[in-house]
A and B are shown apart, each in its own frame.
Chain A
Amino acid sequence: MKIIIQNSSDVPIYQQIYEQIREAILSKAISEGELLPSIRQLSRELKVSVITTTRAYTELEKDGYIMIVQGKGCYVKSINQHVLEERLLKGIEEHFSEILKSAKLLKKSDEELLQLLKFLMEEINYDK
């Protein structure tokens, strides 16, 4: 598992850890049932405080990605594909509504917005 902490970033460190582990789980880079490094091992490796890694793991547990078994370790939970898709879709919806709000502030027309989206999609596809 790869986790890269950016100290200069505005994103809190626990959130950086949370997001990168979540991404690894969602992209199946770590498979379900796999044992994650313990909270304290992870803080040593990342050179961050125990409270920070604890917070990242608790959030991951709360959101149903991992399971913390006292004294044993943290496992990647099996995720119901359907629920997962729904959750991700909801995330997309939320982001879109944010975009629409910002577009409204800037008085951008729907067409301009779509064009921007298309442009971005092409760029991402080109990267791949």
Chain B
Amino acid sequence: MMTIKNLIKLDFYAMKPLAKTMMAFLILPIILGIVADKGMSIMVTLTFMVFMLNSVFSITEQSNFNKLYGVLPIKKSLNIISRYLFSLLVLICTAAISFLIFIALSIISNGSINWTNGIVYLTVSIVIALFFISIQYPLYFKFEFSKANLMAILPYIVFFAIGVPLIQYLMKNVTFYTNVMKVINYFYENTGMLVILGMLISVLLVCSSCLLSLKIQKKEF
């Protein structure tokens, strides 16, 4: 347990050079929240954080952490588990911060808070962020960063370049549209269900991704 804690701390240290960039980028969701949609700002913040987490892989690889992991008195698999835990921790903190921003912006501009809207966005954003991570991390543990980075962008491309137009196209179909709206409305009315479902999907994604990473961890450094 102590080792995992130390490894998570090590990842935070590795992230240190990114701290300035991260602070600067926190302004973006605030601006976005003011000019566009407040809910959207949560999603952007979390997606941005996923990018930052990717950079941690880049930093640790450039800094020969593979060798460091070989030198430190740790079991080989621990660095994978702790990287997942570290990422979860970072995302939880980011989610909390972005939700606070959401609340603050709501109070300032509307004087009231649309809790349902906020929770729906927060849940969906977390699920999407974890979805990205779950696909990317096994790639990072398997391949070199430069190689994996190209592949890791794939989920974004799939999501934004193909998924969004596809949904837009399908939305033109009336029956599909009404069905989707039914689902969305159901979740808007039963936010509890959404949160539970979101958590379930998240846990499932992260656990299977972590197990996969442990399995395919590059044996050769």
A and B directly contacting (CB within 8 A): no
Residues of B whose CB lies within 8 Å of any CB of A are none
A binding-site residues for B, Cβ under 8 Å = none
